[in-house]
Amino acid sequence: MDFSWSDEQRAFRDRVVAFARESLNDDLRTLDAQGAFPRVLWDRCAAFGLLGLAVPEAYSGTPDVDFLTAMLAMEGLGYGCRENGLAFGINAQLWTVQLPLLRFGTNAQKERWLPRLCRGEWIGAHAITEPEAGSDIFNLQTHARRVEGGYVLHGAKCLVSFAPIADLALIFATLDPALGKWGITAFVVEKGTPGFHAGPVQEKMGLRTVPIGAFTFDDCFVPDENRIGPEGAGVSISTHSLEWERCCILASQLGAMERQLETAIAFARERKQFGQAIGKFQSVAHRITDMKLRLETARLLLYKVAWLKQNNKSAMLEAALLKLYISESFVASGLDAIRVHGGRGYLTENEVERDLRDAIGGLLYAGTSDIQRNIIARLLGL
């Protein structure tokens, strides 16, 4: 196992950090307050090539990079860009929409959808959660009925990132409820398809710039050519995607934790109380020490999982450990950062509290912390 980075990889990360700092930090408080999706920033990321990182050049139009480099770039994005919602949204599209299309799609499907997604012209959503299928994720009610030339979908999805603005959705529906989860099949539905409706933006606590909402399918016909993978392979496609998502989606949170730590250290060295810098008080210094420990242990887990995936090794257990640990660490460090900053950290204008609000979602999406613990326990033979 070798976690060292090449000069080229480090240089690429540095370019991403510089780009993010210069181009992605405009007027963030307003965006957060309005819950507005920053389409301009999204387009800048597409022009830089970030939306094509997980996709070969033939479809993305941007030079190929290996998975480890892509993950390092996402870490750099989280470090340089203070808008956690943007980094989350990019990761969500890369790993839960583009990657399944690349891995399981036909050539025609890849040619139709991937270039548009990589260029930022279209936005993709991954829709699996339903009102009665949250942590019990495969208890789907959305139904696909076989008809001449395709399928008719009926049902609803909720808590879908990008649903209100998505141009296409990767959705999961069951062909036969009697087959349980083994009847689940994946489809792509394009915006404008009759019977396919997106609900309005729903307000939420954090990641407010990523619009979240619901889809409904009211006798929505999708042609055969929009089915992804074989019938009944939906569980495997979803599980495969979720494992990648758990590996990658939090890489940007690691970058954000590093930025957060540096900000806390700078403040603790500058801010004086009782005649000395507050960092000289053990209670403050120890809190920052804990933030550093979380950052470095999270980094080791992330790099181990990335190394396993790069080398085509199973990362079931490690991905669950990683998802659990980084998401919980970001919340804990977000709270510590506010404590270090005191009242200033509580004020929205100083952009400290936003990290904590943005971190909470990580405890829930891609499998809650409780579900990660369940997976880990099962894999330990419990």
Partner 1 sequence: MKSQLRQYIQETLLENGAPHAVQDDENLLGSGLVDSVGMMSLVLFIEETFGVAVPPEDVTIEHFLSIDTIATYLEARVAA
Give the count of alpha carbons within 13 A of 230, CB side only: 4
Give the C-alpha separation, 301 to 294, whole Å.
11
Contact between 97 and partner 1 by CB under 8 A: the answer reads: no
Q: How far is the CB of 240 from partner 1 (least distance, A)?
A: 4
Contact between 214 and partner 1 by CB under 8 A: the answer reads: no
Nearer to partner 1 by Cβ, of 177 and 200: the residue is 177
Give the C-alpha separation, 42 to 210, whole Å.
11
Q: How far is the CB of 227 from partner 1 (least distance, A)?
A: 11
CA triple 373-378-382, angle to 5 deg: 105
Give the C-alpha separation, 296 to 304, whole Å.
12
Query: 310-347: b or e for each residue (b if 16 or more CB lie within 10 Å)?
Result: eeeeebeebbbbbbbbbbbbbbbbbbbbbebbeeebee
Which of 106, 273, 297, 314 binds partner 1 (CB under 8 A)? It is 314
Nearer to partner 1 by Cβ, of 264 and 305: the residue is 305
- What tokens does 163 get? 């649903």
Which of 239, 350, 368, 369 binds partner 1 (CB under 8 A)? It is 239
Applying CB under 8 A, the span of 34-42, 235-243, 326-334, 346-354 interacting with partner 1 comes to 235-243
Which of 119, 240, 292, 339 binds partner 1 (CB under 8 A)? It is 240
Give the C-alpha separation, 189 to 222, whole Å.
7
CB 132: neighbour CB atoms within 10 A? 11
Q: How far is the CB of 68 from partner 1 (least distance, A)?
A: 21
Burial class (CB in 10 A: 0-12, 13-18, 19+), 36: middle
305, 331, 354 from 287: Cα distances, Å: 27, 14, 19
Which of 138, 145, 191, 202 binds partner 1 (CB under 8 A)? It is 138
Give the C-alpha separation, 258 to 283, whole Å.
20
Which of 166, 220, 237, 322 binds partner 1 (CB under 8 A)? It is 237
What is the contact mask toward partner 1 in residues 30 to 69, using x (rule: CB under 8 A)?
----------------------------------------
Give the C-alpha separation, 148 to 303, whole Å.
48
Nearer to partner 1 by Cβ, of 43 and 231: the residue is 231
Contact between 230 and partner 1 by CB under 8 A: the answer reads: yes
Give the C-alpha separation, 367 to 252, whole Å.
18
Residues with catalytic function:
245
Q: How far is the CB of 371 from partner 1 (least distance, A)?
A: 10
Nearer to partner 1 by Cβ, of 103 and 304: the residue is 103
Contact between 378 and partner 1 by CB under 8 A: the answer reads: yes
Contact between 181 and partner 1 by CB under 8 A: the answer reads: yes
- Chain contacts with partner 1 (rule: CB under 8 A): 103-104, 138, 178-183, 229-233, 235-237, 239-240, 314, 316, 375, 378-379, 381
